[in-house]
Amino acid sequence: MQQKTIPEEIYKQQVSIFSDLLKQLKRKRSNIGWLRLFIGIAILSLIYSLFFKSYIITWILVVAGIAVFLYVISVDADNNAKIADAERMLAINDEELRILSGKYDEREDGLPFLPHEHPYAGDLDLFGTASLYQYVNRCTSEQSKRLLAAALLSASGKITIIGRQAAAKSLAPQYEWRQKLQSTGVANPVTFATEQKLKFWLQMPKPLQHAFWKIFPAIFTSITLITLGAYLLDWITSSVFWLLVFAYFLIAKYGSGKVMETYTALTKIEGEIDTIYRQLLLIENLPAKSELLDSYKKILISEKNGTAGIKELKEILKRFDFRLNIMVFMVLNTFLLWDVRQANALNKWKENYSDSVTDWFDILTNIELISTLSTLTFNHPDWVFPVIVDQHFTLSGEDIGHPLIDGKKRVDNSFTTEGTGKVAIITGSNMAGKSTFLRSVAVNLVLAQIGAPVCAKTFTFSPAKLYSSMRIADNLAENTSTFYAELKKLKSIIDQVKQHEKVFILLDEILRGTNSLDRHTGSEALIKQLIREQAVAVIATHDVELASLYKEYKNDISNFHFDVQVEGEELYFDYKLKRGICQSMNASLLMKKIGIEM
């Protein structure tokens, strides 16, 4: 029998591995620092000795020492990059342990994605502190974060859901690969600004398109290098040499002016292009298989979409950025026509790879979303991937729990509703669990409809638009009362119902902002209308009289309840959903407890 993977143990092992690796790398950095100091002193000593006696061997040692010093600097830079990566990997595993322990409320909350008005987002804690977005998100790019938010806010299609499910299942065990993808993204997150810059540049006309500029850099460089050789061999005087250099500088400056618009369009994106390259390289070597994942890999390994293209762009931009060092740039541009060469390289790149850019961003965005779903799958091996059915409407789950409640404290419930024109009425005491149950069902449906696993033992559903009315607040800016705000929400639901859209409705205490008689009358009318229009709803209420509608609509209304046990003046809740109408209420006892004499 295969041993069950325990995420906490894996993450603790990873923390130990990267803690040890960091210690080794930092010791190495210290040793490299001493070595650099020793080599530097040795070079300075050799140079000092040249002031007294010039030996060829001394010159050779100086040159060799400088070469070794530069090599050590490159080794140090590589080691520092490994330290940064190890620190990120350590932080990722530490964060996973905190999330599993319920400490995730300081993570990015996704509130910028929360619409002002939405059919269910405000009721279900999708964004904000201690939200589903905070708990689930492992995306690093702005694009993938937006895709995750969009998926939470709108149900995906059946094909999309099934594709993501299979991909998440396949990628879930590959935690090292997923963390490497995340670490690479965290190092220099990809932004909308870079995507927009790149796509704007692709639409720009190419500079230096005349054939002359394609051959001129080679001719120009030949002339400048011949001039330099002539000067070093004393074939031309110093004044003639510097006069020619000034002329070459003016020509180079003219060429640079022609490409400045291109440079400005692409400036400061080399770091993010490097991120894209490294992440695409990981995807090319993705150690998981599914139809969706394979389709992304197939695009990447095709001739014009692979990592070779993005690597080439990264190298061109890196060379272009030499202009940031004014002394280096002056030499390169004056003698090699550096800017013109890079512009020509970019023109050629645009011809070869412009059609691939959209693919690259789409693949990275979707892979990060799948990686997020895979992490959720890995972290919760007891959760289940839902089964999708086409028959509207179906929702059936065994041991459904709220994903954000600690499993040790959470009470799970089973629930089923099938067919249209069905209303489940849930009555019960205050604090007995009605609202939490509604949110448990709703949040799991949201997860199901993005392709994620759900917090349940079994879960079957048919895709539908989710509508809820649970948390209604007044709006002082719009001069809107709580009651009117709820009416607006209910109107949007009724409009959908009248159009016979495939919707699933969750309501908690309908019309709470008006008097008890109007509330009961309005709620009863709404339930009857939902049944007539063949809608599907689950309604939680304190109004036990609404449950009596079952007598009139035996085939359409189901009654459930949460109850409370009272012993003396103490209340005991089991938070279990039961069939039938609630017979016990607790409001009077709670009022007595705070000092209201009954």
Q: Residue 15: its pLDDT value, please?
A: 95
Residues 261 and 295 in one domain: yes
Final residue of a structural domain among 54, 84, 100: 100
Q: Are residues 402 and 273 in the same domain?
A: no
Are 506 and 538 in contact by the 8 Å Cβ rule? The answer is yes
* Same-domain status, 303 and 275: yes
Q: Give the span between the Cα atoms of 175 and 379, in whole angstroms.
A: 10
pLDDT of residue 83: 93
**Gap between the Cα atoms of 394 and 461, Å rounded:** 5
Closest to 332 in 3D by CA, of 217, 419, 191: 217
- Whole-angstrom distance, CA of residue 558 vs CA of residue 395: 14
Same domain, 233 and 312: yes
Q: Is 410 helix (H, G, I), strand (E, B) or coil?
A: coil
Number of domains in the chain: 3
Are 391 and 318 members of one domain?
Answer: no
Task: Provide the token pair at 72.
Answer: 């050590």
Does residue 588 belong to any structural domain of this protein? Answer: yes
Residue 222 maps to a domain:
yes
Are 190 and 274 contained in the same domain?
yes
Are residues 328 and 404 both part of a single domain?
no
Q: Give yes or no: residues 194 and 331 share one domain.
A: yes
* Structural domain includes residue 179: no
- Confidence (pLDDT) at 574: 86
Check whether residue 460 and residue 543 sit in a common domain: yes
Per-residue pLDDT of the chain (598 residues; tens, 9 = 90+): 345 679 999 999 999 999 999 999 999 989 988 888 888 888 777 676 766 666 666 667 767 877 888 888 888 888 899 999 999 999 999 999 999 999 999 999 999 999 988 999 989 999 999 999 999 999 999 999 999 999 999 999 999 999 999 999 999 999 999 999 999 999 999 999 999 999 999 999 888 888 888 899 999 999 999 998 998 888 999 999 999 999 999 999 998 888 888 888 888 899 999 999 999 999 999 988 999 999 999 888 875 667 888 999 999 998 888 877 777 778 888 999 998 999 999 999 998 898 889 999 999 999 999 999 999 999 999 999 999 999 999 999 999 999 999 988 999 999 999 999 999 999 987 778 899 999 999 999 999 999 999 999 999 999 999 999 987 654 444 445 677 777 888 888 899 999 988 999 999 988 876 777 888 888 899 999 999 999 999 999 888 889 899 999 999 999 999 987 766 666 778 899 999 988 765 555 555 554 555 5
Q: Where among 48, 72, 100 does a domain terminate?
A: 100
Average pLDDT, rounded, for the chain: 88
Both 201 and 339 in one domain: the answer is: yes
Would 575 be classed as within a structural domain?
Answer: yes
| pLDDT score at 243 | 94
Asked whether residue 525 is domain-assigned, the answer is yes
Kindly state whether residue 528 falls inside one of the protein's structural domains: yes
Same-domain check for residues 205 and 286: yes
Question: Domain ends where: 367, 397, 431?
Answer: 367
DSSP-derived secondary structure for 142-210: HHHHHHHHHHHHSPPPHHHHHHHHHHHHHHTT-HHHHHHHHHHHHHS---HHHHHHHHHHHHSPPSS-S
Q: How far apart are the first and last CA of the chain?
A: 62
The pLDDT of residue 569? 64
Let me know if residue 547 belongs to a domain.
yes
Range of the domain at 58: 7-100
Q: Are 540 and 428 in contact (CB under 8 A)?
A: yes
Whether residue 411 sits in one domain with residue 345:
no
- Supply the CATH number for residue 400's domain: 3.40.50.300
Statement: the pTM of the whole predicted model exceeds 0.85: yes
Task: State the pLDDT at residue 251.
Answer: 92
95 part of a folded domain: yes
